[in-house]
A = this chain, B = another copy of it.
Amino acid sequence: MTQPITETTVAELQSWLQVITHPKRLKIINLLMEGIQCNCEIGERLDMPRNLISHHMGILRQSGLVDVERDSADARWVYFTINQPALAQLRTLFDVVLNPARIQPRQPGCGPQSAPIEFVDAEPLPSA
């Protein structure tokens, strides 16, 4: 059904999570989803200085999760929006890697239950 989860799949998800997990950045994403896209209002709502907003926006932008657009009337203002294809990709990765259906029973590759087996097998044979 689902493609196998490779190490790079996990690493990909990890780098997405790295971007969104920071408390302020997750709050920013939440505001963007609510339609708050003006830099200054985000600053007010989250009580952050402009340059710090800019810093986090740079990280969000670089990841591809957020797009920027300049105001057509006054080019000093910029608006940020969620990049929906990127969001969809993140959601898919999360869903695939953390899919509960993947969970397997224990593989006894080590521990006391894996090694002693040959010893138990060897014991009964001579007495029988």
Binding site for B on A (CB under 8 A): 5, 7, 10-11, 13-14, 17-18, 20-21, 23, 26-27, 29-30, 32-38, 40-41, 71, 73-74, 77, 79, 81-82, 84, 87-88, 90-91, 94-95, 97-98, 100, 102-113
Contacts and interface: CB of A to CB of B under 8 A. Distances in A.
In the assembly, how many copies of this chain are there? 2
A46 to B, nearest CB: 11
Given A5-B30, A35-B106, 6 more contacts: A7-B27, A36-B107, A71-B112, A74-B111, A91-B95, A94-B94
A30 B109 CA distance: 16
Contacts of A73: 112-113
**Residue among A14, A36, A71, A102 with the most chain B CB within 10 A?**
A14
